[in-house]
Chains A and B, each alone.
Chain A
Amino acid sequence: MTAVEEVPLSAAGNPIGFGSMRRVEDARFVRGQGNYVDDVNLPGMLHSAILRSPHAHARIVSIDASAAEALPGVVAVITGKILEGIPRPSLLGDNFAWMPTLSYDTQAVLATDKVRFQGQEVAYVIAESRYIAKDALELIDVEYEILEPVMDAKRALDAGAPIIRDDKGQTDNSITDVHGNKTWESGNAESTAAAIAAAKADPNCVVVTQEIMYPRVHPAPMETCGSVSYLDKVTGQLTMYTTTQAPHAHRTVYAMVAGLPEQKIRIISPDIGGGFGNKVPVYPGYVLSVIGTIVTGKPVKWMEDRNENLVSTGFARDYHMTASIAATKEGKILAVDVDVLADHGAFNGVAQPTNYPAGFFNIFSGSYDYPDAHCKVTPVYTNKAPGGVAYACSFRITEAAYVIERVVDCLAQELQMDPADLRLKNLLRPEQFPYMSPTGWEYDSGEYEKTMRVAMDIAGYDELRREQAEKRAKGEYMGIGISFFTEGVGAGPRRDMDILGLGMADGIELRVHPTGKAQLRLSVQSQGQGHETTFAQIVAHELGIPPEDIEVLHGDTDNTPFGLGTYGSRSTPVSGAAASVVARKVRDRARIVAAAALECAPDDLDWELGRWYVKGDRERGKTIAEIALLSHSSLELPEGVEGHLDATAVYNPPNLTYPYGCYICVVDVDPGTGQVKIRRFIAVDDCGTRINPMIVEGQVHGGLADGVGMALMELIAFDTDGNNLGGSFMDYLLPTAVECPDWELGETVTPSPHHPIGAKGVGESATVGSPAAVVNAVIDALSPFGVRHADMPLTPANVWRAIQGNAIRVDMAVE
Chain B
Amino acid sequence: MEVTITINGTPVTSEIEPRTLLVHFVRENAGLRGTHWGCDTSNCGTCVLWVDGSPVKSCTMLAAQADGHEVTTVEGLEQGGVLDPIQQGFIECHGLQCGFCTPGMMMTGRWLLDNNPNPSEAEIRDCISGQICRCTGYKNIVASIQWAAEHPATSEVTA
Q: Which of B19, B34, B44, B142 lies in contact with A32, CB distance below 8 A?
A: B34
- CB pair B33–A221 under 8 Å, yes or no, is no
**B2 interface contact, C-beta 8 A:** no
Given known contacts A26-B159, A704-B137, is B100 in contact with A729 (CB within 8 Å)?
no
**Chain B residues within 8 Å of A305, by CB:** 40
A737-B94 contact given A306-B38, A307-B40, CB 8 Å threshold: no
Contact with A along B120-150 (1 / 0, CB 8 A): 0100111011111111111111100000000
Partner of A274, one of B106, B121, B134, B140: B134
Report yes or no: B36 in contact with A223, Cβ–Cβ below 8 A.
Answer: yes
Given A32-B34, A32-B35: A26 in contact with B96 (beta carbons within 8 A): yes
| B103 part of interface (Cβ distance < 8 Å) | yes
**A702 x B137 contact (CB < 8 A):** yes
Q: Which among A38, A39, A529, A734 is the interface contact of B132 at CB below 8 angstroms?
A: A734
Decide if B92 is an interface residue (CB 8 Å cutoff).
yes
Which of B39, B73, B97, B125 gathers most chain A CB within 10 Å? B97
Q: Out of B36, B138, B141, which one reaches A273, CB within 8 Å?
A: B36
Q: Which residue of A lies closest to B100 (CB)?
A: A273
Asked whether A32 lies within 8 Å of B137 as measured between CB atoms, the reply is no
Question: A131 CA to B129 CA in the complex, in Å?
Answer: 30
B residues in contact with A514, CB < 8 Å: none
Q: Are B100 and A738 in contact (CB under 8 A)?
A: no
Instruction: Please indicate the chain B residues that have their CB under 8 angstroms from the CB of A23 in the complex.
Output: 91, 94
Interface residues of A in 115-137 (CB under 8 A from B): 130-131
What is the distance, in angstroms, from A360's C-beta to the closest C-beta of chain B?
23
Selected contact of A29 from candidates B27, B102, B125, CB within 8 Å:
B102
Pairwise interchain contact A528-B135, C-beta atoms closer than 8 A: yes
> Min CB distance, A30 to chain B, in Å?
4
CB–CB A31/B87 < 8 A: yes
The DSSP consensus for interface residues of chain B is loop
B78 within 8 A of A: yes
Contact A273:B92 (CB < 8 A) given known A222-B134, A728-B43: no
Distance in angstroms between the alpha carbons of A705 and B133 in the assembled complex: 9
Once the chains bind, are A22 and B92 in contact (CB under 8 Å)?
A: yes
- The residue in chain A whose Cβ has the minimal distance to the Cβ of B17 is A131
Proximity bits, A689-710, B CB within 8 Å = 1, else 0: 0000011011111111110000
Q: Please determine whether B125 and A36 come into contact, CB atoms closer than 8 angstroms.
A: no
User: In the complex, A224→B99 CA distance in Å?
Assistant: 14
* Residue on B nearest A736 in the bound complex, by CB: B129
Beta-carbon contact of B99 and A738 below 8 Å: no
Q: Distance in Å from the Cβ of A315 to the closest Cβ of chain B?
A: 15
Question: A residues within 8 A CB of B115?
Answer: none
- With CB as the reference atom, state the residue of chain A lying closest to B31: A41
State whether A729 and B91 are in contact (beta carbons under 8 Å apart), knowing that A39-B33, A273-B36, A740-B137 are contacts in the complex. no
Q: Does A356 contact B (CB under 8 A)?
A: no
Cβ-based interface call for A27 (8 A): yes
Q: Compute how far the CA of A25 lies from the CA of B100 in the bound complex, rounded to whole angstroms.
A: 12
Q: How far is the CB of B52 from chain A (nearest CB, A)?
A: 20
A698-B132 contact, Cβ under 8 Å, with A22-B92, A530-B97, A738-B125: no
Tell me the bound Cα distance from A272 to B99 in angstroms: 9
Q: Does A34 contact B (CB under 8 A)?
A: yes
Residues on the A chain within 8 Å of B96, using CB: 26, 29-30, 528
Contact with B along A23-58 (1 / 0, CB 8 A): 111111111111010110000000000000000000
In this assembly, does A595 line the interface, its C-beta being within 8 Å of a C-beta of chain B?
no
Contacts A31-B75, A728-B41, A729-B43; is A737 near B141 (CB within 8 Å)?
A: yes
- Given the complex of chains A and B, what is the CA–CA distance between A275 and B94 in angstroms? 19
Contact A743–B34 (Cβ < 8 Å): no
Please tell me if the beta carbons of B94 and A730 are within 8 angstroms of each other in the complex: no
CB-CB contacts below 8 Å: B70-88 with A: 73-75, 77-78, 83, 87-88
Contacts of B129 in A (CB 8 A): 736-738
Decide if A31 touches B78 in the complex (CB within 8 Å): yes
Task: Write out, one digit per residue, whether chain A residues 728-752 have a CB within 8 A of any chain B CB (1) or not (0).
Answer: 1110001011101011000000000
Is B32 part of the binding interface, using a Cβ–Cβ cutoff of 8 Å? yes
In the assembled complex, A527 has its CB within 8 A of some CB on chain B: yes
Instruction: Collect the chain B residues with CB atoms within 8 Å of residue A306's CB.
Output: 38-41, 44
> Quick check: B139 and A701 within 8 Å, CB to CB?
yes
Nearest-neighbour CB distance to chain B for A584, whole angstroms, equals 29
B139 in contact with A740 (CB, 8 Å): yes
**Which residues on B sit within 8 Å (CB–CB) of A590?**
none
Q: Are A222 and B139 touching (Cβ within 8 A)?
A: no
Chain A residues near B97 (CB, 8 Å)?
274, 528-530, 698-699, 702
Distance in Å: Cβ of A768 to nearest Cβ of chain B? 15
A31–B44 alpha-carbon span in the complex (Å):
20
Interface residues of A in 506-555 (CB under 8 A from B): 527-530
What residues of B have a CB within 8 angstroms of the CB of A31 in the complex? Answer: 34, 74-75, 77-78, 83, 87
Contact with B along A709-741 (1 / 0, CB 8 A): 000000000000000000011100010111010
Q: Is A663 an interface residue (CB 8 A)?
A: no
Which residue on B lies nearest to A703, using beta carbons?
B137
Give the residue of B101, B103, B132, B139 whose beta carbon is less than 8 angstroms from that of A729: B132
B98: A residues at CB distance < 8 A: 221-223, 271-275, 527-528
Q: Is B90 an interface residue (CB 8 A)?
A: yes
Are B128 and A701 in contact, CB atoms less than 8 angstroms apart? no
Least Cβ distance of B60 to chain A in Å?
12
A347 adjacent to chain B (CB < 8 Å): no
- Nearest A-chain residue to B141, judged by Cβ: A737
Whether, in the assembled complex, B37 has its beta carbon less than 8 Å from a beta carbon of chain A, the answer is yes
Whole-angstrom CA separation of A306 from B44 in the bound complex? 10
With both chains docked as a complex, state the minimum distance between the C-beta of B120 and any C-beta of chain A, in angstroms.
12
Q: Flag whether A338 is at the interface (Cβ < 8 A).
A: no
B140 touches A221 (CB 8 A): no
**Contact, CB under 8 Å: B99 / A29:** yes
Tell me whether A276 is interfacial, beta carbon within 8 Å: yes
Q: Does B58 have its Cβ within 8 Å of any Cβ on chain A?
A: no
Asked whether A222 and B137 contact (CB < 8 A) given A30-B83, A30-B96, the answer is no
A334 at the interface (CB under 8 A from B): no
B19 contact set on A, CB distance < 8 A: 131
Question: Shortest distance in angstroms between B133's beta carbon and chain A's nearest beta carbon?
Answer: 7
Task: Kindly provide the distance from the CB of A712 to the nearest chain B CB, expressed in whole angstroms.
Answer: 14
With A32-B35, A32-B75, A528-B135 as given contacts, are A26 and B91 in contact (CB-CB < 8 Å)? yes
Q: Which of B36, B125, B141, B159 contacts A222 (CB 8 A)?
A: B36
Q: Is A736's CB under 8 angstroms from B132's CB?
A: yes
Answer whether residue B6 sits at the interface, using C-beta atoms and an 8 A cutoff: no
B78/A736 in contact, CB under 8 A: no
As a 0/1 sequence over residues 214 to 225 of chain A, the CB contacts with chain B under 8 angstroms (1 = contact) are 000000111110
B100 contacts A695, CB within 8 Å?
Answer: no
Complex CA–CA separation, A139 to B40 (angstroms): 22
Separation of A25 and B101 alpha carbons in the complex (Å)? 15
Residues of chain B within 8 A (CB-CB) of A698 are 94, 97, 135-136, 140
Q: Are B102 and A27 in contact (CB under 8 A)?
A: no
Encoded as 1 (CB less than 8 Å from any B CB) or 0, chain A from 322 to 338 comes to 00000000000000000
Q: Which of B99, B102, B134 is the one whose CB lies under 8 Å from A220?
A: B134
Choose one: B34, B36, B44; the contact of A33 (CB below 8 Å): B34
Closest to A27 in B: B159
A–B pairs, 20, beta carbons within 8 Å: A22-B158, A26-B91, A26-B159, A31-B75, A31-B77, A31-B87, A32-B32, A32-B34, A39-B27, A221-B100, A271-B98, A273-B36, A274-B135, A276-B134, A529-B97, A701-B137, A729-B43, A736-B129, A737-B124, A743-B139
Q: Top 5 closest A-B pairs, CB basis?
A: A32-B34, A528-B98, A273-B100, A29-B99, A701-B137
Residue ranges of B at the interface with A (Cβ–Cβ < 8 Å): 17, 19-20, 24, 27, 32-41, 43-44, 46, 73-75, 77-78, 83, 87-88, 90-92, 94, 96-103, 106, 121, 124-126, 128-142, 158-159
Since A695-B94, A704-B137 are in contact, a sample of 8 more A-B pairs with Cβ atoms closer than 8 Å, ordered by chain A residue number, is A24-B159, A26-B96, A32-B32, A34-B99, A39-B27, A706-B134, A734-B132, A736-B138
- List residues of A whose CB falls within 8 A of some B CB: 22-34, 36, 38-39, 130-131, 220-224, 271-276, 305-307, 527-530, 694-695, 697-706, 728-730, 734, 736-738, 740, 742-743
